[in-house]
C-alpha cells in the first residue's frame, strides 16, 4: 500500500518536534476518564460510503468497518479532543483509518488498578490497551495466561502494515514474552538522556565544558557556579538540580563505565551495583552532596517541580532528558518569563544541551509505553485486522499532522517550505480540539521517520543535534529483554531494585555507612536477586 503524500509537506523531522500533550474527557467515577471518542456516535451512524470515500483518498479498508475499543492514558484531567472542532477531527481520523474508535481515557495514576480489573474480567478488556513505561510483571503474567494477541503472526506483513512492520527488532525483543510479541511500543529516541547546563553562567565563569568532558570537568563547573571566581560571585547555592527521582544518578554512573541497570562483566550479566565502577560513581555523587553542590533536601523534592530550579535561577545544571533542558531554555526566552543573560543583558539566557560525559550516557529502551491487543475481545480475524490497521494508519503523514497539530487553517498553517506553523499556540481552547490524540500513536517505524516537518527554533535544532550526538554513546540495558521473561524477576525484581536504589540514597545522604550499604546489597542478593541473576544468565547464554 502506498502512502498518500501530503501537498506542501516536504520533509520529515526528528522526534523532538513531537508535541507530547495528553488529555481526556468524561469520568466514570472510578478514577478513569471515559467516553466514546468525539464524533464516534455519528461515525457509527455514517454509511459505508464514508469509508469508501476515505479509501479513494488513499485509505483502503479491506474489511467491513469495525468499532475498536481502546483505553488511552490521560494525565491532563479531561481536556483532550474537546471543543468546537473536536468532532470534526475525530470524524476525519475514523474515516481515514476506516473504523470507528470508542476511547476510554484512564488517568495515569489509576492505570495499573484499571488494567488489573481488566485482567480479572477479560470480557471487559478494551481491544487495545495502553501502558506507560516499560513492561512489568503483571503484564508478563497476563501474557503468560494468554490475555494478548501474539503480534508476530501479523505485524511483519509490510503490505498490510507498512508502518508497524518497520519496528526495530531490538525494541521488539524487549516486548516478547515466551517468544510471543505481545505489545507494540510508543517509540522514543534512544539518545535522549544527557547533561544540560546554563550557558551564560558557564561562559561568565570560564567553565564551559570542552569536547569529551570528564566527571572532573562537571565537578569544576558546579564548584564555580556555587563559589564564583575572581570576576563573578557564585550564581546559586546548589548548582545541580535534583529531585526525589534518582534517574540522574543512573546517568552519572554511566560516566564511570557503569551499565544501564545491568552490565556484562566477565561474560555474565549482573546488576550495576555488582560493578566496581558503581561504587566509584556513588562516591562521586556523595561528594556532590557533601559539598552542597546539589540540594540537601533532594529526596523530598517532588518531581512535578523538576526543572523549576533552573528556570528560577536556583540551579544551573540539569541532568535527565535533554528535551527538558530545551524547555528550560524556552522558558528563558519566553516574553513573560524573559531571563537576561549575565554575559549580555540584551540577550536571553540559554542552555547547552551537552549530552554524554566521558563518552557515556544512559540509553532509553527505545520506547516509553506500549499497547497490547486483547485476545478475548479481538475474537475474530476481522477485528484483529481492524485494530492493527488503525494502529498502522495512524502513523501515516496525514494522521501525524491531524493528531499532533489539528486542522490546517484552524490550528496550523503551512509555510512556503511546507513546514507546520502553529497558529493556536496561545489559544488553549483551540488546541484542546486535538490535545491528547498523539497518545494513539506508536511513532513507528521510528520517531525520525514519522514526524512531519515543522518550523524549528534554534532550541529545537540544538535538541535534535544533541540527540544525534548522544546516540553513539548511549549505554543500553543488556538484560531488558531477559528480565521480561524471568519468573524470578517478575515475582519481586522491581521491589528489590527499589530497595537497592533506596540504599544508594541512604548512603549518599549519610544515613548508612559504606559497609552498611554493601551489606544491604548482599541482603538483596540473598532475598532473591541471585535467583534473578541466574535466570537472566541462563537466557543470555542460550542466545550467545
* Overall domain count for the chain: 2
Query: Please, is 525 exposed, middle or buried when counting C-beta atoms within 10 Å of its C-beta (0-12, 13-18, 19+)?
Result: middle
Q: Which residues pair with 361 in a beta bridge?
A: 474
Q: Are 339 and 170 in contact (CB under 8 A)?
A: no
* The three three-digit cell numbers of residue 267, written as one number: 561474560
Q: Which of 256, 248, 263, 298 is nearest to 279 (CA)?
A: 256
Q: Are residues 423 and 357 in the same domain?
A: no
Q: Are residues 185 and 200 in the same domain?
A: no
Q: Are residues 298 and 317 in the same domain?
A: yes
Four-CA torsion 436, 439, 443, 444, nearest 10 degrees: -140
Where is 105: in which H helix or E strand? Answer: strand 100-107
Among the three residues 454, 472, 500, which one is the final residue of a domain in this structure? 454
Other CB atoms within a 10 A radius of the CB of residue 284 amount to 18
Q: Which residues contact 511 (CB under 8 A, 6 or more apart)?
A: none
Asked if residue 8 is part of any domain, the answer here is: no
Q: Are residues 87 and 163 in the same domain?
A: yes
pLDDT of amino acid 79: 81
* The three three-digit cell numbers of residue 439, written as one number: 497518545
In the block, which residue shows the cell 484552524? 410
Q: Are residues 124 and 197 in the same domain?
A: no
* The three three-digit cell numbers of residue 416, written as one number: 512556503
pLDDT of amino acid 62: 67
Asked if residue 5 is part of any domain, the answer here is: no
Q: Which residues contact 279 (CB under 8 A, 6 or more apart)?
A: 514
Q: Are residues 184 and 59 in the same domain?
A: yes
User: The domain that contains 391 carries what CATH number?
Assistant: 3.40.190.10
* The three three-digit cell numbers of residue 224, written as one number: 564555580
Q: Are residues 199 and 302 in the same domain?
A: yes
Q: Are residues 472 and 414 in the same domain?
A: no
CA distance linking residue 204 with residue 233, whole number of Å: 10
CA distance linking residue 262 with residue 512, whole number of Å: 24
Asked if residue 197 is part of any domain, the answer here is: yes
Q: Where are the alpha helices (DSSP H) in 377-486?
A: 381-393, 397-405, 428-431, 458-470, 480-484
CA distance linking residue 422 with residue 298, whole number of Å: 37
Distances (CA, A) of 413 to 295, 422, 478, 527: 44, 6, 44, 59
Q: Are 305 and 299 in contact (CB under 8 A)?
A: no
CA distance linking residue 146 with residue 396, whole number of Å: 31
Where is 194: in which H helix or E strand? Answer: strand 193-198
Q: Are residues 153 and 238 in the same domain?
A: no
What are the mean pLDDT values of the chain's consecutive 10-residue runs (544 residues total)? 34 32 33 38 35 43 88 80 95 98 90 92 96 88 95 97 94 92 95 97 98 97 96 96 96 98 97 98 98 97 88 97 95 93 97 98 94 98 98 96 94 90 84 92 87 86 95 95 91 93 98 98 98 97 89
Among the three residues 402, 423, 454, which one is the final residue of a domain in this structure? 454
Q: Are 239 and 314 in contact (CB under 8 A)?
A: no
In 322-407, at which residue ranges do the beta strands (DSSP E only) sit?
Answer: 351-355, 361-362, 367-373
Asked if residue 499 is part of any domain, the answer here is: yes
Q: Which residues contact 428 (CB under 8 A, 6 or more apart)?
A: none
In the block, which residue shows the cell 557515556? 360
Q: Are residues 273 and 407 in the same domain?
A: no
Asked if residue 4 is part of any domain, the answer here is: no
Asked if residue 414 is part of any domain, the answer here is: yes
Among the three residues 398, 419, 454, which one is the final residue of a domain in this structure? 454
Q: Are 401 and 409 in contact (CB under 8 A)?
A: no
Q: Are residues 539 and 399 in the same domain?
A: no
Asked if residue 540 is part of any domain, the answer here is: yes
Q: Are residues 105 and 206 in the same domain?
A: no
Asked if residue 10 is part of any domain, the answer here is: no
Say if strands 351-355 and 193-198 run parallel, antiparallel, or are unpaired: antiparallel
Q: Report pTM.
A: 0.78
Q: Are 256 and 358 in contact (CB under 8 A)?
A: yes
Parent domain of 511: 192-362+464-544
CA distance linking residue 491 with residue 495, whole number of Å: 9
Other CB atoms within a 10 A radius of the CB of residue 381 amount to 10
Amino acid at each position: 500500500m502506498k502512502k498518500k503524500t501530503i501537498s506542501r509537506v516536504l520533509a520529515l523531522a526528528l522526534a523532538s518536534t513531537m508535541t507530547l500533550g495528553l488529555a481526556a474527557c468524561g469520568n466514570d467515577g472510578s478514577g478513569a476518564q471515559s467516553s466514546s471518542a468525539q464524533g464516534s456516535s455519528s461515525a457509527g451512524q455514517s454509511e459505508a460510503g464514508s469509508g469508501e470515500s476515505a479509501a479513494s483518498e488513499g485509505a483502503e479498508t479491506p474489511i467491513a468497518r469495525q468499532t475498536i475499543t481502546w483505553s488511552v492514558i490521560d494525565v491532563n484531567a479531561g481536556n483532550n479532543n474537546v471543543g468546537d472542532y473536536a468532532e470534526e477531527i475525530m470524524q476525519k481520523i475514523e474515516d481515514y483509518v476506516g473504523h470507528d474508535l470508542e476511547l476510554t481515557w484512564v488517568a495515569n495514576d489509576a492505570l495499573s488498578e484499571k488494567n488489573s480489573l481488566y485482567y480479572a474480567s477479560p470480557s471487559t478488556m478494551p481491544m487495545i490497551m495502553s501502558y506507560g513505561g516499560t513492561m512489568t510483571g503483571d503484564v508478563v503474567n497476563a501474557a503468560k495466561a494468554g490475555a494478548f494477541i501474539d503480534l508476530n503472526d501479523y505485524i511483519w506483513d509490510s503490505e498490510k502494515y507498512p508502518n508497524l512492520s518497520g519496528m526495530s527488532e531490538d525494541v521488539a525483543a524487549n516486548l516478547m514474552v515466551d517468544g510471543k510479541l505481545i505489545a507494540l511500543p510508543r517509540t522514543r529516541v534512544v539518545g535522549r538522556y544527557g547533561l544540560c547546563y546554563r550557558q551564560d553562567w558557564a561562559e561568565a565563569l570560564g567553565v564551559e565544558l570542552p569536547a569529551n568532558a570528564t566527571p572532573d570537568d562537571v565537578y569544576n563547573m558546579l564548584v564555580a557556579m556555587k563559589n564564583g571566581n575572581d570576576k563573578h560571585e557564585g550564581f546559586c547555592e546548589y548548582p545541580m538540580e535534583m529531585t526525589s527521582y534518582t534517574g540522574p544518578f543512573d546517568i552519572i554512573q554511566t560516566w564511570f563505565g557503569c551499565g544501564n541497570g545491568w552490565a556484562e562483566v566477565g561474560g555474565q550479566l549482573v546488576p550495576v551495583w555488582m560493578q566496581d565502577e558503581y561504587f566509584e560513581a556513588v562516591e562521586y555523587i556523595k561528594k556532590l552532596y557533601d559539598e552542597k553542590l546539589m540540594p540537601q533536601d533532594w529526596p523530598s523534592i517532588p518531581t512535578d517541580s523538576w526543572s523549576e530550579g533552573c528556570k528560577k535561577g536556583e540551579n544551573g545544571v540539569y541532568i535527565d532528558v535533554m528535551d527538558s533542558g530545551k524547555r528550560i531554555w524556552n522558558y528563558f526566552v519566553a516574553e513573560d518569563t524573559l531571563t537576561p543573560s549575565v554575559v549580555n543583558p540584551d540577550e536571553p539566557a540559554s542552555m547547552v544541551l551537552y549530552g554524554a560525559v566521558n563518552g557515556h550516557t544512559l540509553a532509553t529502551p527505545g520506547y516509553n509505553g506500549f499497547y497490547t491487543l486483547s485476545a478475548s475481545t479481538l475474537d475474530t480475524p476481522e477485528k484483529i485486522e481492524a485494530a492493527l490497521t488503525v494502529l498502522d494508519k495512524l502513523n501515516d503523514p496525514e494522521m501525524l499532522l491531524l493528531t499532533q497539530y489539528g486542522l490546517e487553517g484552524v490550528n496550523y498553517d503551512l509555510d512556503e517550505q511546507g513546514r507546520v506553523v502553529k497558529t493556536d499556540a496561545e489559544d488553549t481552547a483551540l488546541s484542546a480540539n486535538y490535545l491528547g490524540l498523539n497518545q494513539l500513536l506508536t511513532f513507528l517505524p521510528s520517531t525520525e521517520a514519522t514526524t512531519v516537518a515543522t518550523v524549528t527554533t534554534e532550541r529545537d535544532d540544538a535538541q535534535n543535534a544533541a540527540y544525534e550526538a548522544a546516540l553513539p554513546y548511549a549505554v543500553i540495558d543488556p538484560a531488558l529483554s531477559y528480565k521480561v521473561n524471568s519468573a524470578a524477576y517478575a515475582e519481586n525484581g522491581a521491589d528489590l531494585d527499589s530497595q537497592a536504589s533506596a540504599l544508594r540514597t541512604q548512603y549518599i545522604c549519610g544515613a548508612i555507612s559504606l559497609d552498611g550499604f554493601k551489606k544491604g546489597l548482599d541482603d538483596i542478593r540473598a532475598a532473591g536477586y541471585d535467583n534473578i541473576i541466574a535466570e537472566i544468565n541462563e537466557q543470555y547464554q542460550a542466545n550467545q
